[in-house]
Structure 1
Amino acid sequence: MLRIHFASEDIGRVRFAAAPVPAWEMLLSLHALRGRADHGVFGPWRDRTRRMLDPSAGLLLRLAPPRGYSPDFLTPAADHDIDSLVDTVQGTARGRLRADLGLLAAQGGPAGWMRPLADGDTTALRRVGNAMFRYYQRALSPVWDLIQTVVTAERAARVADLIDGGVEQMLSRLHPQIRWEPPVLSVAYPVRRELRLGGRGLLLVPSYFCWARPIALHDSGLDPVLVYPANRGLQRLVPASDTADSGSLAQLLGATRAAVLQEIGSAEGVTGRDLVRRLRISPASVSEHASVLRRAGFVASHRTANTVWHMPTPLGRTVLEGGAGGRAQRA
């Protein structure tokens, strides 16, 4: 159990990452690469990615074992683009490198390959940065739009909780494995830890590749971060051609279904109740049309409590902007 202790001033300093954080998606996707081959969500992405990676990914896989400790320096402050992340990692101080890699070495196995990196060798750091950039381009960039769609849907749901009931309601609904009992946020965790915020606030990072349980930085002296699963709708990272079948696309060409897609796309995300109110159709009809759109790969759905949020996928936005979208709009 991880117990995060809030001081009175920390409540007003809870904030969300503005977008998916490349460092965390990278670290946790490296963990996913070594997970079960038949994983229902990550399996297709994993199979495709492993065929595309080059040998430089081996260095990252050694730095980020799927169980136990992964070095904090791989997930610095929430840089939202890959270039900033690489620059930050390559500029890591020698003291941080030695501390983090010492913890990694303590988990066992030969550690000779770590020594140049632990000493702050610029060539070794450059090798890590280059490996991160190449990994991002091959493993994450092709699916980044869909990662962003899923994370944005989760963030929108939590903002709705914040508006409806304040920070405490939002914290109480973060995730089934997170429990808010003021002034402590208790998180299901593999080890027992106490984290005292002490007025620093807390950055919440919804992550596509975070799976099963939330994760935090090991060093409690760093700015507090809690990463938690965003993919409640179990959306898979597969190309549109893998998810959209001709039957689903044929079903799409109807006036009501096109209107549902247009409403979801125009607002960049709506609830099922919104669609019922705006289109004046029944909840059952909304559910049916959203299900077809989801199977066609045009919509991602996200459930929180009793509310379902619908967001357009990159394919859905493309359809609305032209091509098949023009036909749907004319229908």
Structure 2
Amino acid sequence: MVFKCPFTMDCAGSVTSSCLVAEPLRSTGGREMLRVHFTAEDLTRIRIRAHPHPLWEVLLSLHLLQTRRGAAIFGPWRRDVRAALHPSGDILTTLAPPKGYSPDFLTPFVDSPELDDGLEVVLSTSSATLRADMTRLAEQTKLPSWAWRIAGGDAEMMRRLADRIRQYHAQALLPYAHVFKSHIREDWARRAEMAMTHGLEHVLSTLHPSIRWRAPVLEVDYPVDQDLSLDGRGLVLVPSFFCWQTSMTFADPALRPVLVYPVDPVIGWASHASATPDARSLEALLGRTRATVLRVIAEKPYLNTKQLARATGTTPSGASQHAAVLRDAGLVNTQRRNNSVVHSLSKRGAMLLDKPALQDRAGYPDIRLSNPSAG
């Protein structure tokens, strides 16, 4: 059994957790670790994502939001987000506690960098998986009645969960998206150069100080002793901005193998992110909801009004009204496509947000690494 879990770091840096394994095995070296076992075939099937995984960033940022971990780096972001956060946090923090187990279905494997694509997979989760994941979560904490509706696959409750995730993403992550996307692209570029000049072993050896490549095993400092055999399935490496110190993987070893590893941000990133313009200044100028609508339009051009409402946690009539005000102010463009009205950032809106009028949608391809012995 492999853990996906946020583990709380105390001020001394030691790990505390509510682990679900009663008697974990001990490594012979006296410290726990995750050991990822590769075959020759696995070494030809390694990928590094070029983009943030939106649902992993949602989950991991929720973990950080509920603690004081990484105060020097995440403190300003945590303060601003807590001040602006919608009450949707109740549902999300129940499903994503700051330590212990978080359900695998919240972070499904999906190639797309788009949040809605990931949420479609969440909404299509089988009832058996929902029941198993929620039952496991209940082993470490008492769940409210609505959580058991999720366990039962209740469609209305699942849609409510998806809407809450969208709201949280719009408030807590979207204002800072250009910063953590940039960090992950820089990590991608660095790995790409390493792969070309030094090969796979160097890439695997330098993912993070807590990760070591000792062929054919990737060793990861971990709160419990675990073994993950890839068995020819390969491995997807997922760089994460909000992953703090401890890499993560799915709890269910039958799922597609992934390893989420930290891309360490620098002190002051949140202040820099909100300096152009200051998030609170933008909200003071436009109002909190309208500022969120503008950011969503900038990040996801050509959403129709119904999609915009879902992404911002507003009603369709409310989204239409906010978009109309922004259009009248010259900050967004609205046009008709087929039977829908869609919205995009205008040049004036782009100047206000200090970003291109149309965001880079495709960006960079994932890196596919090959067996170092082949080269």
TM norm structure 2? 0.63
Letter in 1 for 2:114: D
Q: Which residue of structure 1 lines up, in the alignment, with residue 230 of structure 2?
A: 197
Structure 2 alignment gaps of length 5 or more? 1-32, 278-349, 358-375
Which has the larger helix fraction? 1
* Aligned residue among 8, 15, 22 for 2:54: 22
Question: Are 1:3 and 2:35 counterparts?
Answer: yes
* Counterpart residue number, 2:321: none
Structure 1 residues 93, 241: closer, same or farther in 2, change over 3 A? closer
Q: How does 1:62-141 map to 2 (within 5 A)?
A: 62-78=94-110, 79-141=112-174
- Paired with 2:108 and 2:216, the residues of 1 have a C-alpha distance of 27
Tell me the percent identity. Answer: 43
Aligned to 2:87: 55
> Separation in 1 of the partners of 2:227 and 2:52?
26
Q: Which amino acid aligns with 2:151?
A: A
Q: Does the CA contact (< 8 Å) of 1:90 and 1:128 recur in 2?
A: no
More deviation, 208-217/106-115: 106-115
Aligned equivalent of 1:228: 261
Aligned length: 251
Displacement of 1:57 in angstroms is 2.1
- In the TM superposition, residue 318 of structure 1 has moved relative to its aligned partner by 5.2
Q: Contact (CA 8 Å) 2:50, 2:184: kept in 1 or not?
A: no
| TM-superposition CA deviations, 1:68-106 (whole Å, max 9, x none) | 100000000133111112211111110110111111100
Alpha-carbon RMSD across the aligned residues, in angstroms, is: 2.4
Q: For 1:129 and 1:159, how far apart are their aligned partners in 2? A: 34
Whole-angstrom distance in 2 between the partners of 1:60 and 1:94: 19
Instruction: Look up the SS of the partner of 1:95 in the other structure.
Output: helix
C-alpha deviation, 1:320, in angstroms? 11
Local SS of the residue matching 1:226: strand
**Residue 233 (structure 1) shift:** 3.8
Return the structure number with greater relative CO, CA threshold 8 A, min gap 6. 2
In structure 1, list runs of 5 or more residues that go unmatched: 245-313, 322-331
TM-score (normalizing by structure 1): 0.71
Counterparts of 2:191 and 2:99, CA distance in 1: 29
CA shift, 1:113, in A, is 3.1
Contact 1:204-1:225 within 8 A present in 2 as well:
yes
Q: How does 1:266-285 map to 2 (within 5 A)?
A: none
Give 1:26-37 correspondences, 5 Å limit: 26-36=58-68
Write out per-residue CA displacement over residues 111-166 of structure 1, whole angstroms, 9 at most, x where no aligned residue: 53321110100011011101011111111111101010111111111112111111
Give the Cα separation in 2 of the matches to 1:241 and 1:63.
28
In the TM superposition, what is the alpha-carbon distance from 1:234 to its structure 2 partner?
A: 4.4
Separation in structure 2 between the aligned mates of residue 31 and residue 231 of structure 1, nearest angstrom = 16
Partner residue of 1:12? 44
